[in-house]
Structure 1
Amino acid sequence: MSLSKTTLGPFELFTIETGDFRLDGGAMFGVVPKTLWSRDLPADEKNRIPMTMRCLLIRSKNTGKLYLIDNGAGTKFNDKMEDIYQLDQSNKNLENSFKEHGFSFDDVTDVIFTHLHFDHCGGTSFYNNSDELELTFSNATYHVVDTHWKNANAPNAREKASFLPENITPIKESGKLNLVKENHEYEPGLSAVGVNGHTIGQQLPKVEVDSETLVFVADLLPTHVHVPIPWVMGYDMYPVQTLNEKDAFLKIAAQKNWNLYLEHDAHKEIIRIQYEDGRFSVSDSLTLSDL
């Protein structure tokens, strides 16, 4: 496993790979026919497409903080769940990624959650040798948008399966939960973009230094194949809102040549967007090391 990194102004950025998994292709593309999405993402015999859980580590030279954006599904899945999602952490995992970049889990001062679905926050805790839940990042403060925290603790029936108690409870009981408002600024140059179509209170961390911007797009844009505006996940709670959020976001991204960091794309790490003839498409594909 070879991981990328770069420096943008006062921020050092490091790719963190936490594992691969598979999700149902139909659910990932909603009403888009399989004949269209399968051209780019062929499904297996169970109609699942390849996905990854790519997180981001940010070290600030100004504050000395080490931010981790999301942390994957973790290791708490039983055999049945691992089989359903074809979870593979044999090579890509949190521990290996941290070691490759020369960090330990204790170095993390802040964990910024885009949202609390299981594939984004499961790595926060693990079962120790006594079969008790223990925090992975013992020195970290956990940042969640307040509206999302409320939603995660009282979810509707459709979203309930994504908010697992074994993931949420350790965060709640940590004593280190920090609820933030939408579009929160963590420090100059590191803020978040609020979106609510996929789930209420999702935040997309944004590093902005001079003319260079990188946005961790999480589940607003799961893969590069989701760039067309109507290509929205069946998992989204408010798909029409996602349509509007994607359209507004991608217009700015294309105009300003933003770097969009993809959390779930198994093949592309960062993309740039162009807008031609009324359509958005991928103009460039690169890694952190290319910036």
Structure 2
Amino acid sequence: MKQSHTSIGSFNLYSIEAGRFRLDGGAMFGVVPKTLWSRYIDVDDNNRIHMAMRCLLIESKNTGKVYLVDNGSGTKFDEKFEQIYQLDYEHSDLLNSLDYHGFKPEDITDIIFSHLHFDHCGGTTYYDENGDLRHTFPNATYHVTNKQLETATDPNVREKASFLPDNINPIKNWDKLNLVGAHHQYEDGLEGLPVNGHTLGQQLPKITGENKTLVFAADLIPTHVHLPLPWVMGYDMYPVTTLEEKEKYLEQAVEQDWYLFLEHDADQEVVTVKKEKGKFAADDKLTLSNISG
């Protein structure tokens, strides 16, 4: 599968496909009835929808840093887990996607975690042929918010299943772990926008350059179908907070012509947003390569 790239300001941006999986459509759309959401997204016989694990590689021309935002689910699963989530690495996988753009795991200097649910950080580590846990990106500094690490290491019962010890402990104990606060500035033109509705301490990397802005939407807006304000995931810990955050950032997206990079949308990689009669919806549907440098 051809994967796209572009430049914004002092950054080269690359779409990194780390595989596909499926999640329950009812959980993905919360209180929205299936009769509504199924008009816009395909669903299988088990009520699951197709999901991407689309990461973003950010190469800084100013600092030489190579950031990877999230890294998919990884491969540390038994057959039962793979069947439940229909993990699909035939479509794409993390290492081949990096290689497609000319990068090796050793080239990654920094990993920015939007948050630490399994489908966002599982690729950080892998089991070698001896069954030992190894770090995929040996030279990378890991960036995660204080609040998210605190949440991941002491989760509530409802969220516990998304924070797997084999994912969290190696990150927590990594000697190059950098805990950041809300709204962290990584360098000029790259910052993390704070969001707390889906899980406490999520951050959305925002890339700004000249007259263009791209925001990695993570799980605030997992697919373009989730753009309407009330279409909030059942997975969100604090749905009212999600509503407030969506309205705040979507207003900015309309006013400032943001590009939204969609991590989980199986069909749409990037969208712009319009507001008509008080409702938000996708305007242009693009890939990174459609965004002129």
> Does the pair score TM above 0.5?
yes
The letter of the residue matching 2:211 is S
Say which SS state the counterpart of residue 170 (structure 1) adopts.
Answer: helix
* In 2, Cα distance between equivalents of 1:282 and 1:91: 25
Say which SS state the counterpart of residue 43 (structure 1) adopts.
Answer: coil
Does residue 1:245 correspond to 2:229, yes or no?
no
Tell me the CA shift for residue 42 of structure 1. 2.2
Contact 2:20 2:91 in 1 (8 A): no
Question: What are the superposed Cα offsets for residues 8-38 of structure 1, whole Å, 9 maximum, x if unpaired?
Answer: 1210000100000000000000000000000
* Structure 1 match to 2:99: 99
* In 2, Cα distance between equivalents of 1:90 and 1:282: 29
Q: Percent identity?
A: 60
* In 2, Cα distance between equivalents of 1:134 and 1:91: 24
Contact 2:149 2:172 in 1 (8 A): no
Tell me the CA shift for residue 211 of structure 1. 1.4
* Structure 2 match to 1:212: 212
* In 2, Cα distance between equivalents of 1:172 and 1:209: 32
The letter of the residue matching 2:267 is H
* Structure 1 match to 2:137: 137
Tell me the CA shift for residue 41 of structure 1. 1.1
What runs of 5+ residues in structure 1 fail to find an aligned partner?
A: none
* Structure 1 match to 2:11: 11
* In 1, Cα distance between equivalents of 2:158 and 2:131: 30
* In 2, Cα distance between equivalents of 1:127 and 1:139: 18
RMSD between aligned residues = 0.6
* Structure 1 match to 2:61: 61
More displaced stretch, 262-271 vs 167-176: 167-176
Tell me the CA shift for residue 200 of structure 1. 0.1
The letter of the residue matching 1:193 is L
Question: What are the superposed Cα offsets for residues 162-188 of structure 1, whole Å, 9 maximum, x if unpaired?
Answer: 000000111122211100000000000
* Structure 2 match to 1:269: 269
* In 1, Cα distance between equivalents of 2:149 and 2:263: 21
Tell me the CA shift for residue 91 of structure 1. 3.3
* Structure 1 match to 2:161: 161
Tell me the CA shift for residue 77 of structure 1. 1.2
* Structure 1 match to 2:42: 42
* Structure 2 match to 1:152: 152
The letter of the residue matching 1:157 is V
Say which SS state the counterpart of residue 281 (structure 1) adopts.
Answer: strand
* In 2, Cα distance between equivalents of 1:261 and 1:75: 24
* In 2, Cα distance between equivalents of 1:177 and 1:145: 10
* Structure 2 match to 1:290: 290
What runs of 5+ residues in structure 2 fail to find an aligned partner?
A: none
The letter of the residue matching 1:199 is T
The letter of the residue matching 2:239 is P
* In 2, Cα distance between equivalents of 1:10 and 1:213: 12
Say which SS state the counterpart of residue 260 (structure 1) adopts.
Answer: strand
Say which SS state the counterpart of residue 64 (structure 1) adopts.
Answer: coil
* Structure 2 match to 1:258: 258
* In 2, Cα distance between equivalents of 1:181 and 1:174: 18
* In 2, Cα distance between equivalents of 1:17 and 1:286: 16
TM-score, normalised to structure 1, is: 0.99
Question: What are the superposed Cα offsets for residues 258-284 of structure 1, whole Å, 9 maximum, x if unpaired?
Answer: 000000000000000001111111110
Which contiguous aligned blocks of 4+ residues in structure 1 show a shift greater than 4 angstroms?
A: none
Say which SS state the counterpart of residue 247 (structure 1) adopts.
Answer: helix
Tell me the CA shift for residue 192 of structure 1. 0.9
Question: What are the superposed Cα offsets for residues 222-263 of structure 1, whole Å, 9 maximum, x if unpaired?
Answer: 000000000000000000010011011101101111000000
Matched positions, count: 291
More displaced stretch, 32-41 vs 91-100: 91-100
The letter of the residue matching 2:140 is A
Does residue 1:121 correspond to 2:110, yes or no?
no
* Structure 2 match to 1:2: 2
Say which SS state the counterpart of residue 26 (structure 1) adopts.
Answer: helix
The letter of the residue matching 1:64 is G
* In 1, Cα distance between equivalents of 2:81 and 2:287: 31
* In 2, Cα distance between equivalents of 1:10 and 1:91: 31
Question: What are the superposed Cα offsets for residues 186-205 of structure 1, whole Å, 9 maximum, x if unpaired?
Answer: 00000010000000000000
The letter of the residue matching 2:109 is T
